[in-house]
Amino acid sequence: MVERSTLVDYCNELLQSDAFQDYCPNGLQVEGAGQVQRLVTGVTASQALVDAAVDAGAQMLLVHHGYFWKGEPAAVTGIKQRRLKALLGADMNLLAYHLPLDVHAELGNNAQLAKLMGWNVLGGLEPDNPRSVGLYGELPEALDGATLAAHMATVLQREPLHIAGNDRPIKRIAWCTGAAQGYIERAIALGADAYVTGEVSEPTVHAARENGIHFFAAGHHATERYGVKALGEHLAERFGLEHQFIDIDNPV
């Protein structure tokens, strides 16, 4: 067992959560048991994940997408009431990290995606920002767009949407997990041959075609499984916790 406060303080310091202006509170969002032995991690604190964590007997649920987003209704009704009721009824802590978990140089979503795909990181997608959300780098060897799409589908277990802005091979690549399709302009400015993110918007297709860059929408959920899983594994090893990553299927 480890004290809840020890885990929370460690995560806050490790991810430097106080340094971010985010769309939601980072850190402890719902207070539960004072001691933690079993940790469940997952991408989003949906009802399905909360219920699975309860069934697993977890004292803490750690996610990338938690609650209390800016602009959402404040009233505790509907799905918000049901999710909170389940957490509080199980005396379960909810710990959530959004941007801090995207950015971390080792455990972050973008770093973990690069590790999984075998991409070499060269720097941040925002060169002047030491906490750049996205990254850029190079493939170990140049690939055509179709081959990279097939490799992505195999590794991420989801078929990506591929917009082929040209027929040239891909060597220099930029990426930002989640809903970061608007960052394609930053990838273009860095001279990337391809840009990878989770989601796509209608203007993104035109931007890719007219600027001659490959674009891949590989799935918001599919690109953001790996940071929270890596963090959970790290905590389990450091504090001797039982850890289970639970993947709630989401095609988006």
pLDDT tens-digit profile of 156-201? 999 999 999 999 999 999 999 999 999 999 999 999 999 999 999 9
CA–centroid distance for 104 within its chain: 11
Q: Tell me the per-residue pLDDT of 44-71, one tens digit each, with 9 for 90 and over.
A: 999 999 999 999 999 999 999 999 999 9
Structure tokens at 158: 């989801």
List Cβ neighbours of 71 (8 Å cut-off, separation of 6 or more).
none
Q: Report if pTM > 0.95.
A: yes
145: three-class secondary structure by DSSP: helix
| 110-149 tens-digit pLDDT | 999 999 999 999 999 998 999 999 999 999 999 999 999 9
Give the pLDDT mean for 218-228: 98
> 74-92, pLDDT tens digit by residue?
999 999 999 999 999 999 9
Residue 57: helix, strand or coil by DSSP? coil
- In angstroms, rounded to a whole number, what is the distance separating the alpha carbons of residues 185 and 201? 13
Stated as kind and residue range, the H or E segment containing 124 is strand 120-124
- Where does residue 118 fall: left (phi above 0), alpha (psi -120 to 50 degrees), or beta otherwise? left
